[in-house]
Amino acid sequence: MTARIVVALSMFLAVLSTPALAAPKAVQCTAPDDVLKLNAKLTNTARAIRRNEELVIVAIGSSSTEGAGASSRANTYPARFAAELAHRWPKLRLRVINEGVGGETVVEMLARFEEDVMAHKPHLVIWQTGSNALLTGQKLEDYVKTVRKGLRRLKAARTDVILMDPQFAPMVVAQPMHRRLIAATADLANDFRVGLFQRFAVMQHWVSSGKTRIDEVISRDRLHMNDASYRCIARLLADSVSALAYQGMGLAPADRLREPLISGSR
């Protein structure tokens, strides 16, 4: 199995040591507020922060969780996400565990839930899925059925959940079923009252706004993200998660990072 990345750090040290929070330069890192809304409660995440517990987050998915297209493990979205949260919550202990395995479909991910997700006893699970279902021609009804099984298992464990839909990339857009799958993923999130991070819509906004070219956020293989897009997805996801966590604690949202640009495109 592909080696996993475990980001286990004190939040304060992460802020000091992480170059990704340096002043960004190249690609617009914004999205409409309605696209960034997760439309869920992060009860366990908020409770862990309120109690000053170590916050445990598992990111499960395929190659864009594992980090294909990133220049290093430090530039995968889970690693960047951990650094972004560290910047927002400098006194909180945090562990973000990358359980991404390139090429996997939801069936293969679900098969390792017990060992690779539940065993960590996470407060929050971010499940990136859908891209390989499209690329391998998995039937939509089978995709939906499998994701339902996974969500039932996560909900039974009283774990906060965020689904992350496919990336906006030429190879994804070329699949005739991509819009139906994205809509089905949104329906699943709504049915189970879990969060949905609309990665496809976020990245599409970057390009349709005319301020970003697709080759600035997608690697040469026309599928995988790059350092710039991983970094921006991590930042926007951290914005959304931190806002919901503060809401769950009954507090006003913390001041968000509003740096307009990100660097590292290639």
- Rounded CA gap, 46 and 44, in Å? 5
The pLDDT score that the predictor gives to residue 263 is 39
The pLDDT score that the predictor gives to residue 1 is 44
| 219-231: pLDDT as tens digits | 999 999 999 999 9
The pLDDT score that the predictor gives to residue 28 is 82
- Rounded CA gap, 94 and 85, in Å? 8
The answer to whether residue 14 scores a pLDDT higher than 90 is: no
Which domains does the chain show, CATH number per domain?
5-259 (3.40.50.1110)
The answer to whether residue 43 scores a pLDDT higher than 70 is: yes
Helix axes 227-248, 77-88, angle to 10 degrees: 40
Which sign does the torsion angle of CA 214, 220, 224, 228 carry?
negative
Least confident of 25-34, 169-178, 189-198: 25-34
Confidence band of 169 (pLDDT split at 50, 70, 90): very high
| 79-126: pLDDT as tens digits | 999 999 999 989 989 999 999 999 999 999 999 999 999 999 999 999
Confidence band of 249 (pLDDT split at 50, 70, 90): confident
Token pair for 118: 């539940």
Token pair for 186: 């949104």
Closest CA relative to residue 259, chosen from 243, 242, 235, 241? 235
- Judge contact between 160 and 112, C-beta under 8 A: no
What is the rounded average pLDDT of the residues 33-55? 94
What is the rounded average pLDDT of the residues 9-20? 35
Closest CA relative to residue 45, chosen from 116, 96, 98, 80? 96
> In this structure, what is the dihedral angle of CA atoms 240, 245, 248, 252, given to the nearest 10 degrees?
-80
The answer to whether residue 180 scores a pLDDT higher than 80 is: yes
- Judge contact between 2 and 66, C-beta under 8 A: yes
- Judge contact between 83 and 14, C-beta under 8 A: yes
Task: Say what percent of the chain tops pLDDT 70.
Answer: 84
Token pair for 113: 């839930």
What is the rounded average pLDDT of the residues 32-48? 94
- Judge contact between 93 and 27, C-beta under 8 A: no
Least confident of 91-95, 152-156, 211-215, 242-246: 242-246
What average pLDDT is seen over the chain? Answer: 87
Confidence band of 29 (pLDDT split at 50, 70, 90): very high
- Rounded CA gap, 58 and 5, in Å? 11
Return phi, psi of residue 81, to 5°: -60, -45
